[in-house]
Structure 1
Amino acid sequence: MPSDAVLYQAAALCLTYPDHDFRARLPLLREAAPQLREFTDHAVLTPADELAAHYVRVFDSGSRHSLHLSRWRDGDTGRRGRSPVRFGDVYRAHGLEFSGEELPDFLPAVLEFTARTGDIALLTEHREALEQLRSGLTEFGTPYACVLDAVCATLPGVSTGEG
């Protein structure tokens, strides 16, 4: 496991819908991944219904803040249908079977895969998408941007720093 495995797993949890289980994990997330404290502190202080509504506003607003990585590269073209299949193929090559409710290109799933395997190839391959998402979240003024800041800071290359 890479030294960033805990961060990737924590970031995956931070980028999923903030349900009751998420709120119960906040103290652990805060301690395990200090890079995410800006977000976890915000989540602790925000009432559950407000945090859930904010998540929906941020991530259910079409492709502007899409957590599906292939959407950034392929848009809504026919090619996008094949891209998530490739993510599933990578998971299977590592002995993992994707069984989530989301598509395999869902960023929290990719982060969890990376945490479990130590293989950062999917993240680095989609670095540009991560940077675009990070920039969009920063412009939107959401604390979710710091989650992407922390993830991008672990990847090879230079973060664009735009936002």
Structure 2
Amino acid sequence: MLLRALSALLAYPDAELRAALPDIEAAIRAAQDLKTASRDGLLALAREIARRDALDAEARFVDLFDRGRSTSLNLFEHVHGDGRDRGPAMLDLRQRYLDAGLEPSGNELPDHLPMLLEYLSCRDVAEVRETLGDCAHILRSIGNRLLHKRSRYAAVFGALLELARAEGLDPHAPVLPPEDLDASWEERPAFANDRAPPCRPTDFRR
């Protein structure tokens, strides 16, 4: 339920999501795998989304995640950019979902982080930690940039790193300008391709 809550918090903050915020907050409060500070940060984000003017919340979300590569929620954007390896990696990830019984829907690409979290929400703990650990360098880069922007959305990335048992966010980490990001990211898979039994995830959006 925690991974589904984190996935929902990274969704476009429309009326449907705001209506689900009480359930999302309940899932966060019930989480046993997070430190108190991480839970408090996530709850603060949920409250911020709830109290902001709807248009303002939506505009801020677009500014953060839909304009530019540095905080894109599409993971392969950070690994492959527009390179030729991105297409095959996307197909492999989609097949991973299909093998698990998850049919990707909507307009988002398979590497969209909320979709990956929905998939992981019904996997075993070992796969969750391995997958999040494999893409921890991306999660940390996005989270540190969000900290630099003083965005409460950074709490989601801090929580994911905590679940992965990886090094957390660093508010003092240098933030590269967008034009230097490609040179700093390594050309490596964003996460492993292990398979596991079928699942049927659901989310908080009604």
TM (normalized to structure 1)? Answer: 0.89
Pick the aligned partner of 1:28 from 20, 23, 39.
23
Counterparts of 1:30 and 1:61, CA distance in 2: 28
> Which one-letter code corresponds to 1:21 in the other structure?
E
Q: Deviations over 1:3-39 (max 9, x none)?
A: xxx2210010110111111010111111211322021
Q: Deviations over 1:52-71 (max 9, x none)?
A: 01001101111111101111
2:143 aligns to what? 134
Pick the aligned partner of 2:81 from 75, 88, 104.
75
1:159 aligns to what? 168
- What percent identity do the matched residue pairs reach? 29
2:119 aligns to what? 113
Instruction: State the Cα distance separating 1:96 from its structure 2 match.
Output: 2.1
Pick the aligned partner of 1:144 from 142, 147, 153.
153
Pick the aligned partner of 1:122 from 99, 120, 131.
131
Larger Rg: 2
1:8 aligns to what? 3
> Which one-letter code corresponds to 1:127 in the other structure?
A
The answer (yes or no) to whether the contact 2:143–2:169 under 8 Å persists in 1 is no
Give the count of matched residue pairs: 158
Counterparts of 1:66 and 1:91, CA distance in 2: 21
Counterparts of 2:135 and 2:90, CA distance in 1: 13
TM (normalized to structure 2)? Answer: 0.71
Counterparts of 1:83 and 1:104, CA distance in 2: 9
1:63 partnered with 2:58: no
List gaps (5 residues or longer) in structure 1: 1-5
CA RMSD of aligned residues (A): 1.6
Counterparts of 2:163 and 2:19, CA distance in 1: 26
2:99 aligns to what? 93
